[in-house]
């Protein structure tokens, strides 16, 4: 899910200076609920499995989630409300294993429950060598459309993006922020726009742990949705010599975001 991936990417910047070469694996859970400006509440559960390899100034990541979505057929995970004209979408018949409606209204705010594999996300990040307490990361990413568009778990099209993140320490705190631009692919049933996004946050150490807050904003992906605006609080703590656990909670500040969300992520270095 895009919101989950964006949170982890931005929060990881705060600890980039301590990164070590090698492989790490992660598993998480993200749950969110919101009406996205409609009359229907949509609940999304995402359980992503991720892998990361770090070597020198380079970091390569991949993430693939299992998802369960309960709600409006026009709400697509990671995008919010769109005009989904797929006649087999959630609540319209084939998308959740029911008999298809012979005369479906593809714009009707029908609801349904479905689950399955989400989109595969891959990224490569280069850390620009810098002097002092500040660092700059350049990232290229791709979303491969592995999610079932008939279930409304994705758009059925690939996305491509680039991001610049800056982070540094000031008075014991780590400040971080970034900007990104994503070219979203159109499918036969969903027409979306490319989007600009930005985030800004701060974290502080607490013994071997850390805590902080991040604000995230992103342009609306379609005329049917609002800009995304949300704030996330997080807490990261060690879980053994080679593992860490990250807990977070999110509050939506616009109809483009869920009303609230919570999540946990466990990462282990091999």
DSSP character at residue 13: H
Of 16, 26, 30, the residue nearest 58 (C-alpha): 16
pLDDT in tens, 209-248: 999 999 999 999 988 889 999 999 999 999 988 999 999 9
Instruction: Please report the pLDDT score of residue 147 as a whole number.
Output: 95
Distance CA 26, CA 37 (A): 33
Taken in order 133, 9, 62, 218, is the CA torsion positive or negative?
negative
Write out pLDDT tens, residues 92-113.
655 444 444 555 555 555 788 9
For CA atoms 44, 120, 27, 53, give the dihedral sign: negative
Give the 3-state DSSP-derived string for 60-71, with helices as H, strands as E and coil as C: EEEEEEEEEEEE
Question: Distance of alpha carbon 48 from its chain centroid, rounded?
Answer: 10
Per-residue pLDDT, 12: 58
The domain of 120 spans 2-269
DSSP state letters, 144-169:
E--S-GGGTSS-SS-EEEEEEEEEEE
For residue 22, pLDDT beyond 70: yes
Residues in CB range of 105: below 8 A, 6 or more apart = none
**Confidence category of residue 1, pLDDT binned at 50, 70, 90:** low
As a whole number of angstroms, the distance between CA 110 and CA 60 comes to 39
Does 82 have pLDDT greater than 70? Answer: yes
> The CATH number of the domain where 26 resides is what?
2.40.160.40
Contact between 181 and 161 (Cβ < 8 Å):
yes
Quick one: DSSP state of residue 96?
Answer: G
Q: H-helix or E-strand containing 12? A: helix 2-13
Domain count for the chain, please give it. 1
Average pLDDT of the residues in 62-91:
88
Closest CA to 37 of 96, 95, 109: 109
pLDDT in tens, 146-187: 999 989 999 999 999 999 999 999 999 999 999 999 999 988
Whether residue 182 contacts residue 155, with contact meaning beta carbons closer than 8 Å, is answered with no
What pLDDT score was predicted for residue 98? 47
Question: What is the per-residue pLDDT for 68?
Answer: 97
Q: Does the pLDDT at position 267 exceed 50?
A: yes
- Judged by DSSP in three states, 10 sits in helix
pLDDT score at 11: 52
Cβ atoms 227, 215 nearer than 8 A: no
Around Cβ 82, how many Cβ atoms within 10 Å?
Answer: 22
- pLDDT(8) > 80: no
The two structure tokens encoding residue 11: 């929060």
The widest CA-to-CA distance across the chain, in whole angstroms, is: 65
Note the pLDDT of residue 97. Answer: 42
Residue bearing tokens 């807990």:
247
- pTM for the model stands at 0.88
% of the chain with per-residue pLDDT over 90? 67
């Amino acid at each position: 899910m895009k919101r989950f991936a964006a949170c982890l990417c931005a929060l990881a910047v705060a600890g980039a200076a301590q990164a070590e070469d090698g492989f790490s694996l992660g598993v998480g859970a993200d749950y969110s609920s919101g009406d996205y400006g409609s009359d229907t509440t949509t609940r999304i559960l995402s359980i992503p499995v991720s892998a990361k390899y770090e070597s020198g100034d380079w970091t390569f990541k991949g993430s693939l989630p299992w998802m369960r979505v309960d709600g409006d057929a026009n709400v697509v995970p990671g995008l919010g409300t769109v005009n989904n004209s797929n006649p087999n979408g959630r609540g319209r018949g084939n998308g959740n294993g029911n008999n298809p409606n012979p005369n479906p209204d593809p714009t009707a705010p029908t609801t349904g429950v479905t689950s399955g594999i989400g989109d595969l996300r891959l990224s490569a990040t280069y850390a620009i060598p810098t002097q002092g307490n500040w660092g700059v990361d350049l990232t290229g990413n791709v979303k491969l459309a592995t999610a079932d568009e008939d279930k409304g778990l994705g758009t059925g099209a690939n996305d491509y993006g680039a991001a610049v993140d800056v982070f540094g320490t000031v008075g014991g705190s780590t400040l971080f922020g970034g900007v990104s631009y994503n070219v979203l692919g159109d499918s036969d049933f969903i027409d979306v726009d490319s989007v600009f996004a930005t985030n800004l946050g701060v974290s502080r150490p607490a013994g071997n742990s850390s805590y902080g807050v991040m604000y995230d904003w992103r342009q609306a992906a379609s005329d049917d949705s609002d800009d995304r605006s949300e704030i996330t609080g997080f807490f990261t703590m060690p879980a053994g010599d080679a593992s860490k656990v990250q807990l977070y909670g999110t509050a939506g500040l616009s109809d483009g975001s869920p009303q609230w969300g919570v999540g946990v992520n466990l990462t282990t270095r091999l």
